[in-house]
A = this chain, B = another copy of it.
């Protein structure tokens, strides 16, 4: 980070200072991406963002990311109460010190950004009351489902709705373990050990595998959707430890998969709410049954919108940083203009476009590549495939598979070819020439094969 980043604002329009309490997995992700996207975010928000202070347990300890010594603080409360820092990110975890830091910042009227679902679950009522009383704000998009903007969706996008049913996979560690057990027919203990070695599970896995982490997140969602704080002690919470490979086989035989689900249901006639976290047999036809590995998925049924579904990586440095930065951007917009600044009519439409709008251009057809499915009605006679193949070869389009089926027309056959990677220009030229062949009847049908990397 250059000197310029840590100077104090020179004018009222100068950078907005951000304090990071905690510089672990999430804190470092926020640092990395805020740094990379600095110019774009500044253009989009109309104001630059600057990380002005970072607190860690031990400022002396050598770290992979080199930080200027003047940024480091040993006491997170110093960051939380620094009058030059209006946005405080609590990224330490735990509930005791995190609570003190959060309340101190809110009492100073600051905006606190948090990824700490355990804290919200335990002290949410106090935190929100404090924010309201002192004119501060508490943002927590990163606390549930990593980078998936589910908090924003529930609170703003679906504001017209009541929510009779919300359910989903809220813990990626459990979903990874269950997925591996199912796919590899392997016992829980073996997969857990592996998950720890790979960093997918914490050294102390209890919070995850016993369902408490998902319960914390369910509490956050239940509060957003229903305005009631439900402590995990009043939920049904069961973990995944007793599920065996045999259960997956039994479930499969009955047409189900097994997922650790959080389920929040409200009956609007009796006004009864229930919040549960437990392993569940989910029918294979449910899209969430095929959400595997470290992904999270949340199905939200609104009484007006119907069911909407949100899927994405539930944790990890980058996905979590994406959510924290979106909260920081909301906070900055609020501070900058005292209004909802991130609207398309006020701001450049997109970070990258704002930073360098003139460089994006439409790709020429030669650069649009993919695999193709080609269906031709051809004369049913020898040598036909050879002639078609040679046209394709001339345009450097290579064939991946051939399927011949009877045609509805007499003496004709339906020929289905798939190609290897080719480009739009070559395919258009190929099509034009194929259509001219006497052995081909009617216009060939071209469909595109899309195998997306995700």
Give A contacts to B, CB under 8 Å. Answer: 33, 37, 41, 44, 128, 131-132, 136-139, 141, 146-149, 152-153, 155-162, 165, 167, 223-228, 230, 234, 236, 242-244, 246-247, 250-251, 253-254, 256, 258, 261, 263, 266-268, 270-276, 278-283, 286-287, 290-291, 299, 301-302, 304-313, 318-319, 321-323, 325-326, 329-330, 333-334, 338-340, 342-346, 348-354, 357, 359-364, 367-368, 373, 375, 401, 403, 405, 414, 416, 418, 424, 445, 447-454
A319 to chain B minimum Cβ distance, whole angstroms, is 5
A156 — nearest CB in chain B belongs to which residue?
B342
Q: Is there contact, CB below 8 Å, between A274 and B318? A: no
State A234–B327 Cα separation when bound (angstroms): 36
Partner among B362, B373, B445 whose Cβ is within 8 Å of the Cβ of A234 = B362
Closest 10 CB pairs of A and B: A227-B353, A149-B157, A147-B305, A131-B345, A308-B312, A272-B363, A160-B325, A305-B322, A307-B454, A309-B311
Contacts of A326 in B (CB 8 A): 156-160
Contacts of A250 in B (CB 8 A): 373, 375, 403, 405, 416
A354 to chain B minimum Cβ distance, whole angstroms, is 7
Q: Is there contact, CB below 8 Å, between A162 and B352? A: yes
Contacts of A158 in B (CB 8 A): 147, 149, 322, 326
Contacts of A334 in B (CB 8 A): 339-340
A160 — nearest CB in chain B belongs to which residue?
B325
A359 to chain B minimum Cβ distance, whole angstroms, is 5
A304-B322, A319-B305 known; A280+B223 contact, CB < 8 A: no
A329 to chain B minimum Cβ distance, whole angstroms, is 5
State A453–B454 Cα separation when bound (angstroms): 28
Contacts of A452 in B (CB 8 A): 165, 167, 286, 299
A440 to chain B minimum Cβ distance, whole angstroms, is 15
Q: Is there contact, CB below 8 Å, between A273 and B362? A: yes
Contacts of A283 in B (CB 8 A): 451
Beyond A157-B326, A160-B322, 20 additional contacts (C-beta under 8 Å) are A146-B305, A147-B304, A147-B306, A148-B308, A152-B156, A152-B157, A161-B322, A165-B452, A223-B349, A226-B360, A227-B352, A230-B362, A263-B450, A286-B451, A287-B287, A305-B323, A307-B454, A308-B313, A334-B339, A338-B339
Partner among B160, B274, B281, B454 whose Cβ is within 8 Å of the Cβ of A447 = B281
State A225–B360 Cα separation when bound (angstroms): 11
State A426–B267 Cα separation when bound (angstroms): 20
Partner among B139, B242, B313, B445 whose Cβ is within 8 Å of the Cβ of A445 = B242
State A454–B116 Cα separation when bound (angstroms): 31
Contacts of A146 in B (CB 8 A): 305
Q: Is there contact, CB below 8 Å, between A276 and B227? A: no
A444 — nearest CB in chain B belongs to which residue?
B242
State A321–B160 Cα separation when bound (angstroms): 9
State A308–B150 Cα separation when bound (angstroms): 11
Q: Is there contact, CB below 8 Å, between B329 and A160? A: yes
Q: Is there contact, CB below 8 Å, between B450 and A343? A: no
Contacts of A424 in B (CB 8 A): 236
State A115–B434 Cα separation when bound (angstroms): 43
A278 — nearest CB in chain B belongs to which residue?
B448
State A121–B145 Cα separation when bound (angstroms): 32
Q: Is there contact, CB below 8 Å, between B149 and A281? A: no
A31 to chain B minimum Cβ distance, whole angstroms, is 12
